[in-house]
């Protein structure tokens, strides 16, 4: 992969950013970086600013998945927390990879809703392939270098793929979300309400959670999509095993706040051929 343009987030002047959501993302990253680095006075000041900005846009006052993946400035230079240049490249690549995966998932949702079922399988397959590429390219040592920043502030969970709205949206469209139990639906509605999910995707996910509406798919297409969703989750499970194997130990809690990560991930797979 070609070298990515990166900018350490602590060097960014928030006043130069016009978009409120990007401002919030930068301040959330700054507050988190200062907290992890132990600069308490500066962290308190940044956190006060974060709380105010988050209140204005209805977001959770913590660094979120949306901040890192959807509000990052990839064209002008990805915002990163890492100081080491090599590690910053890996960190930026992690965010860019997830951004590209999300783009394929958005296309999948659009094709499902636009009565293009065969096309939806192509896009979902591309998402699986991009996740596999990210899994192969990211080293455990590099990930260990920036993962300590994936913490929550102000009592909220930290940034996590758990808060991608696209995957549960596809689950709900394809099979009615049979892998989303009642307790998780309550958790998702709560986290949606406080702004932990991407703001531009939340309304659709809320609507589907409350209606459990599915699209009318040919059984073969539905089975194909379920197979691809399972493939996606298998690759993700393999990534966790490679990068943070301790997260799969008994009762371990993930960065998104889910306890007992291993069984949770395994339980998200859908039985095929039913």
- Which pLDDT score is estimated for 4? 94
- Which pLDDT score is estimated for 242? 85
Sort 76 into a burial class: Cβ within 10 Å, 0-12 / 13-18 / 19+. exposed
- Which pLDDT score is estimated for 179? 92
- Are 194 and 57 contacting, i.e. CB atoms less than 8 angstroms apart? no
Structural domains of the chain, count: 1
The CATH number that applies at residue 249 is: 1.20.58
Over residues 188-229, the pLDDT tens digits come to 999 999 999 999 999 999 999 998 678 889 899 999 999 999
Is there a domain that residue 15 lies in? Answer: yes
Question: What DSSP string describes the chain?
Answer: -PPPPEEEGGG--GGG---HHHHHHHHHHHHHHHHHHT-HHHHHHHHHHHHHHHHHHT--SS--HIIIIIS--TTT-EEE---SHHHHHHHHHHHHHHHHHHHHHHHHHHHHHTT-HHHHHHHHHHHHHHHHHHHHH--HHHHHHHGGG---STT-----GGG-SHHHHHHHHHHTTTTS-HHHHHHHHHHHHHT-S-TTTHHHHHHHHHH-------HHHHHHHHHHHHHHHHHHHHHHHHH-GGGGSTT-B-TTS-BSHHHHHHHTPPPTT-
Pairing of strands 6-8, 78-80: parallel
Is there a domain that residue 60 lies in? Answer: yes
Query: 247-267 burial, b for 16+ CB within 10 Å, e for fewer?
Result: bbeeebebbbbbeebbeebee
With a cut of 50, list the residues of the chain below it in pLDDT.
252
Over residues 157-179, the pLDDT tens digits come to 999 999 999 999 999 999 999 99
Is there a domain that residue 1 lies in? Answer: no
Q: What is the pTM assigned to this prediction?
A: 0.92
Which residue segment(s) compose the domain that 48 sits in?
6-267
| 171 CB-near residues (< 8 Å, 6+ apart) | 177, 178, 179, 180, 229
- Which pLDDT score is estimated for 248? 64
Is there a domain that residue 272 lies in? Answer: no
- Report the C-alpha gap between 186 and 164 in whole angstroms: 16
Q: Which residues pair with 163 in a beta bridge?
A: none
Is there a domain that residue 273 lies in? Answer: no
Is there a domain that residue 154 lies in? Answer: yes
Is there a domain that residue 14 lies in? Answer: yes
Is there a domain that residue 274 lies in? Answer: no
């Amino acid at each position: 992969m070609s070298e990515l343009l990166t900018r350490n987030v602590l060097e960014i002047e928030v006043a130069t950013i016009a978009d409120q959501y990007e401002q919030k993302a930068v301040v959330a990253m700054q507050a988190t970086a200062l907290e992890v680095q132990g600069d308490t006075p500066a962290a308190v000041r940044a956190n006060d600013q974060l709380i105010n900005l988050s209140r204005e846009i209805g977001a959770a006052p913590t660094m979120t998945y949306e901040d890192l993946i959807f509000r990052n400035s990839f064209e002008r230079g990805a915002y990163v927390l890492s100081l080491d240049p090599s590690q910053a490249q890996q960190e930026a690549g992690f965010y860019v990879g997830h951004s590209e995966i999300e783009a394929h998932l958005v296309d999948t949702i659009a094709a499902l809703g636009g009565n293009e079922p065969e096309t939806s399988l192509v896009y979902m397959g591309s998402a699986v392939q991009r996740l596999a590429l990210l899994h192969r390219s990211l080293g455990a040592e590099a990930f260990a270098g920036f993962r300590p920043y994936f913490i929550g502030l102000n009592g909220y969970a930290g940034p996590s793929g758990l808060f991608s709205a696209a995957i549960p949206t596809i689950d709900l469209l394809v099979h009615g979300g049979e892998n989303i139990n009642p307790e998780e639906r309550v958790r998702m509605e709560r986290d949606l309400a406080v702004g932990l999910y991407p703001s531009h995707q939340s309304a659709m996910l809320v609507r589907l959670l409350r209606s459990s509406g599915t699209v009318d798919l040919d059984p073969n297409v539905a089975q194909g999509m379920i197979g691809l969703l399972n493939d996606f989750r298998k690759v993700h499970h393999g990534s966790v095993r490679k990068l943070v194997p301790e997260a799969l130990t008994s009762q371990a809690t993930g960065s998104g706040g889910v306890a007992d990560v291993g069984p949770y991930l395994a339980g998200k797979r859908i039985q095929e051929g039913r």
